Chain A
Amino acid sequence: MIRKMVSDRLIVTLLVVAILLSVFSIVMTMSLNINKQLYNNPQAEGNNQANVELTVVPNPQAGSNGSG
C-alpha cells in the first residue's frame, strides 16, 4: 500500500516537472525564433520626411501702409 502511494506521488511529481519543463522549453524556443527574425531583418525603418504647415487667414487691413 505504502509502495503504491509513493509510486503515485512520484508519478504526479514527474508529471508536474515534465509539464513545467515543456512550457519552459516552448517559451525559450519562441524567444529564440523572435531573436532569429531580428537577426535576419536588421533594417531600421526611419521616417525621412517631415511636414511644415501653417494657415494664413487673410486680413484686408494688412499691407495698407506698406510697413513691416
Chain B
Amino acid sequence: MNSQKLVLITITIVLILNTIISYNLPQSFIKGLSGLAGSEGYVNITVETIISVNFTQETLNFGPGSIDDGQSNATLETSGPSVLRGNWSTSGMSGLVLENIGSRNVTLTLSTNKNASSLFGGSQGHRRYMWNITSNETGSCSPGALSNSTFRNVNTSGYLFCEQLGYLSDQDTLRIDFLLTIPYDGNSGILSDTITATISAAP
C-alpha cells in the first residue's frame, strides 16, 4: 500500500510539472502572436505577407519527332494541341501552369534563357519560339490578360505579362502555352530551355 501511495504521489508531481510546462508554452506563444498589451489597451498585430509563385505544371516535354519529308519546318503548339508537318505526338502536350501561392497580388514577369535562334539555330524564316499567357482561372490577371490568344516571341530579358496576378484560390493561376516552329536545317538532338518567373509585390 505504501509503495502504491508513493507511485501515486510521484505521478501527481509529474502531472503538475507537465501542466505547468504546457501552460507556460502557449503563454509565450500567444505573446509572440499578438504582442501583449499593457494597461493602455493597445493590441499590435503584424500580419506578414508572402509573395511566391509556383509552377504546378513545371515540365513541358514535346518528346522525340522529326520534320516530315519535303517540309522546311514543323510547328508544334500546346493549346490545341497540334503538330503540323512533323511526327511529334500530341499526347501529353500541355502548357505550363503557374500559380500564385502567396498572400497578396504580385506583378509577374516571365523570361526564357534562349530565343528561337539559340534554341533551334537554322534558317531565320523557318524558326519560331513563341508563348501565349492566358488566365487558367477567370480573373487571375488584372487588368486584362496578357497576350490572350496571341502568341508572342519569347523574351530573354523578361516581359511583364501580368501587373496584378491574384492570390485568391480560384483566381490565381495562369497557363503558358508554346508555339514552336522547328527548321529543317537547325539543331538536332535534345533541345531544352528554362522559363523563369520573376515576381514583385503588386502596387
Interface 0/1 of A33-59, CB less than 8 Å to B: 101100110111111111111111111
User: If the complex has contacts A49-B194, A53-B62, A68-B126, are A61 and B70 also in contact, measured as CB distance less than 8 A?
Assistant: yes
Contacts of B67 in A (CB 8 A): 56, 59, 62-63, 68
User: If the complex has contacts A15-B7, A25-B18, A48-B196, are A62 and B101 also in contact, measured as CB distance less than 8 A?
Assistant: no
Contacts of B178 in A (CB 8 A): 52
In the complex, what distance in Å separates the CA atom of A43 from the CA atom of B103?
11
A-B CB pair tally, cutoff 8 Å: 177
CB <8 Å contact, B193 and A52 = yes
B61 at the A interface (CB under 8 A) = yes
Q: Number of B residues contacting the other chain (C-beta, 8 Å)?
A: 70
12 residue pairs from A and B, CB less than 8 Å apart: A22-B11, A39-B29, A42-B50, A44-B50, A44-B102, A48-B55, A48-B198, A50-B55, A51-B195, A55-B64, A56-B189, A58-B66
Q: Which residues of B contact A (CB under 8 A)?
A: 1, 4-5, 7-8, 11-12, 14-15, 18-19, 21-22, 25-26, 29, 32-33, 48, 50, 52-55, 57-74, 76, 85, 88, 96, 98, 101-102, 126, 176, 178, 180, 182, 184-199
